[in-house]
Amino acid sequence: MPREKRLYYNWPGKQTVENFKPGTLDRLGLGYEQMKEHNPRLIFASISGYGTTGPYAKRGGYDPIAGAEAGLLHVTGEHHGPPVRPGLGLVDMATGLYAHGAILAALHACGQHGIGQRIDASLFETQISLLTNVGMSWLNLGIEAERWGCQHPSIVPYDAFKTKDLYLVCGATNDAQFLKLCKLVDLESLAKDLRFSTNPKRVENRDLLGPILNSVFKTKTTAEWIDEFEGTGIPFAPINNIERTFSHPQAHARDMITEMPLNAAKSGHVRLIGPAVKFSGTKATIRTVPPRLGQHTDEILAELGIGKEQVDKLREENIV
């Protein structure tokens, strides 16, 4: 077996993930430079608001703050309306996903070269990377991004339309789909209208087209429109609340809800969200339930070399 493979499968290192303000662990004697002296294979992942260097390194980091300062809130909200924070901590979660991939990459590198490294991830840089197309449009063309609500900046129609009872998201990503959509909503004349016959013209006249389509979608329920759209090839979906999301047949078919025993729960079990990615050879499962408060305190303190008598004393003093 080649040396790099042997190192990879017998990797005796440790992984650490921390999200203190930069410099905090260094002051405690637990920073990367200090810890790698004890274990050169250490993978040390730091997650902060702005990274470990630069003029903003000492600032604390929070999801909506990074979203504001790195452009997300600028592009989120109704057209000509105020900025809106997304309903989920997208920057927090995306940073965690980036760090996850980086840790795996660092483990692979350690397997090849036998040494670990520090991973430096930040909410600010994550959000900048998520700007993708609007960021590239600014960098290369000087085009400032706008808020579009549920609309698409360059494809029309593509919106959340109010139905008789709920909402339906649908769109026409090309002229052929627009013709199909016009036939489906019994407005074939729109496809022949020079103001709407091509996507560039529809983008130009979106404020004229939108009210026409809105008036039609209000005539039927979302369920009725779903029956109309099914099998047409036009992209569509209802806007589901959380209850309908977790009762969705696709969510059940793809094992996105799992149940595990949990004595601490009144029901004796806890329902969890399943893994988002499936593997053909190694089935992804949730093997442990969420830990209770302080459940692993003894194990962690033991790893730090703190004996049982000292742990008992820390408990008596309500320190742990």
The strand pairing partners of 46, in sequence order, are 18, 120
Q: Are strands 158-162 and 269-273 parallel, antiparallel or unpaired?
A: unpaired
Domain-terminating residue out of 223, 239, 255: 239
Instruction: CATH number of the domain at 215, please.
Output: 3.30.1540.10
pLDDT value of position 3: 39
What is the share, in percent, of the chain residues with pLDDT greater than 70?
A: 96
> Is 150 within the bounds of a domain?
no
Instruction: Print the domain residue range for 219.
Output: 158-239
State the residue for tokens 């593997």. 279
Average pLDDT, the chain: 93
Q: Is the pLDDT of residue 1 over 60?
A: no
Q: Is the pLDDT of residue 11 over 60?
A: no
Minimum mean pLDDT range among 82-86, 223-227, 252-256, 315-319: 315-319
> Is 121 within the bounds of a domain?
yes
Q: Are both 222 and 246 inside the same structural domain?
A: no
Q: Are both 278 and 299 inside the same structural domain?
A: no
Concerning whether 92 is annotated as a catalytic residue, the answer is yes
pLDDT value of position 9: 42
Q: Are both 275 and 178 inside the same structural domain?
A: no
Instruction: CATH number of the domain at 77, please.
Output: 3.40.50.10540
Minimum mean pLDDT range among 5-9, 13-17, 28-32, 141-145: 5-9
Q: Are both 14 and 105 inside the same structural domain?
A: yes
Would you state the structure tokens that stand for residue 83, as one six-digit string?
């900025």
- The rounded distance, in Å, linking the Cα atoms of 122 and 128 is 10
> Is 147 within the bounds of a domain?
no
- Catalytic site residue from 63, 92, 120, 159: 92
pLDDT value of position 13: 60
What is the share, in percent, of the chain residues with pLDDT greater than 90?
A: 81
Mean of pLDDT values over 123-147: 97
The strand pairing partners of 121, in sequence order, are 47
**Number of structural domains, the chain?**
4
Q: What is the DSSP string of the chain?
A: --HHHHHHHT----EEEE-SPTTHHHHTT-SHHHHTTT-TT-EEEEEESS-SSSTTTTS---HHHHHHHTTTGGG-SSTTS-----SS-HHHHHHHHHHHHHHHHHHHHHHHHS--EEEEEEHHHHHHHHTHHHHHHHHHH-PPP---TTS-SSSSSEEEEE-SSSEEEEE-SSHHHHHHHHHHTT-THHHH-TTTSSHHHHHHTHHHHHHHHHHHHTTS-HHHHHHHHTTS---EEE---HHHHHT-HHHHHTT-EEEEE-TTSTTSEEEEEPPSS--SSS-----SPPPPTTTTHHHHHHHTT--HHHHHHHHHTT--
Q: Are both 227 and 244 inside the same structural domain?
A: no
Q: Are both 218 and 248 inside the same structural domain?
A: no
> Is 149 within the bounds of a domain?
no
Mean of pLDDT values over 284-297: 88
Mean of pLDDT values over 90-97: 97
pLDDT-based confidence at residue 289 (cuts at 50, 70, 90):
confident
Task: Note the pLDDT tens digit of each residue in 266-280.
Answer: 899 999 999 999 999
Q: Is the pLDDT of residue 8 over 70?
A: no
> Is 153 within the bounds of a domain?
no
Q: Are both 11 and 83 inside the same structural domain?
A: yes
Q: Are both 41 and 124 inside the same structural domain?
A: yes
pLDDT value of position 291: 86
Task: Note the pLDDT tens digit of each residue in 183-230.
Answer: 999 999 999 999 999 999 999 999 999 999 999 999 999 999 999 999
Mean of pLDDT values over 86-93: 96
Q: Are both 54 and 114 inside the same structural domain?
A: yes
Mean of pLDDT values over 131-152: 96
pLDDT value of position 320: 85
Would you state the structure tokens that stand for residue 51, as one six-digit string?
């990274």
Q: Are both 114 and 200 inside the same structural domain?
A: no
pTM of the model: 0.85
Q: Is the pLDDT of residue 10 over 90?
A: no
Q: Are both 105 and 217 inside the same structural domain?
A: no
Task: Note the pLDDT tens digit of each residue in 25-80.
Answer: 999 999 999 999 989 999 999 999 999 999 999 998 899 999 999 999 999 999 99
Q: Are both 251 and 130 inside the same structural domain?
A: no
Give the rounded distance of the alpha carbon of 87 from its chain centre.
11
Compute the C-alpha angle 60/62/66, nearest 5°.
100
Domain-terminating residue out of 141, 166, 182: 141
